[in-house]
């Protein structure tokens, strides 16, 4: 199969491309111009939106990780913006990272578990060499 160069791809060809079925997205919503420095109530409201959406998610100290199709995760991130705007936040900035794979489906728990397995194995090796 020939590799297409950028100049060989037309919009007509791209318009029919599907978005990925499974992605992991990490996003950090930043409400700007709020009356206080604390945005925890705004973030709590976004977490309630995520729970109601049915999308798989995990909040952490610097944002939230989502799992689903490209369309699902980008839609709910957009809805989070609209939610905050509807609550009087006039400006929302969001940092987003989205990853997709074609070789396998890997959950956020799978990714963490794999690193933990490596660390555990490294600790076991270090423990046996220290004892010798």
Residues 33 and 80 in one domain: yes
The confidence score (pLDDT) of residue 5 equals 63
Per-residue CA distances from 117 to 15, 24, 58, 127 (Å) = 42, 21, 21, 15
| Euclidean distance between the first and the last CA atom of the chain, given in angstroms as a whole number | 55
Instruction: Output the domain CATH number for residue 35.
Output: 3.30.70.930
The confidence score (pLDDT) of residue 77 equals 98
The C-alpha atoms of residue 106 and residue 39 are separated, in whole angstroms, by 31
The confidence score (pLDDT) of residue 125 equals 86
Residues 55 and 90 in one domain: yes
Residues 85 and 40 in one domain: yes
Residues 45 and 62 in one domain: yes
The C-alpha atoms of residue 122 and residue 116 are separated, in whole angstroms, by 10
Please give the tally of structural domains in the chain.
2
Residue ranges making up the domain that contains 132: 103-132
**Contact status, residue 123 vs residue 60, Cβ threshold 8 Å:** no
Mean pLDDT by 10 residues, the chain (132 residues): 64 85 96 90 97 97 96 98 96 97 91 93 82 65
Q: Structure pTM?
A: 0.81
Residues 108 and 76 in one domain: no
The confidence score (pLDDT) of residue 4 equals 56
Q: How many residues does the chain have?
A: 132
The confidence score (pLDDT) of residue 99 equals 96
Residues 90 and 108 in one domain: no
* Structure token pair of residue 35: 């009356």
């Amino acid at each position: 199969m020939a590799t297409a160069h950028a100049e060989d791809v037309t919009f007509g060809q791209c318009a029919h491309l599907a978005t990925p079925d499974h992605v992991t997205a990490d996003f950090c919503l930043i409400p700007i111009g709020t009356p206080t420095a604390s945005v925890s109530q705004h973030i709590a409201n976004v977490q309630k939106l995520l729970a109601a959406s049915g999308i798989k998610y995990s909040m952490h100290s610097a944002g939230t990780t989502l799992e689903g199709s490209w369309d699902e995760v980008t839609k709910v991130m957009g809805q989070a913006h609209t939610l905050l705007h509807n609550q009087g936040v006039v400006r929302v900035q969001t940092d987003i990272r989205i990853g997709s794979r074609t070789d396998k489906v890997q959950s956020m728990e799978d990714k963490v578990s794999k690193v933990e397995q490596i660390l555990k194995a490294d600790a076991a090796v270090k423990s046996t060499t220290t004892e010798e």
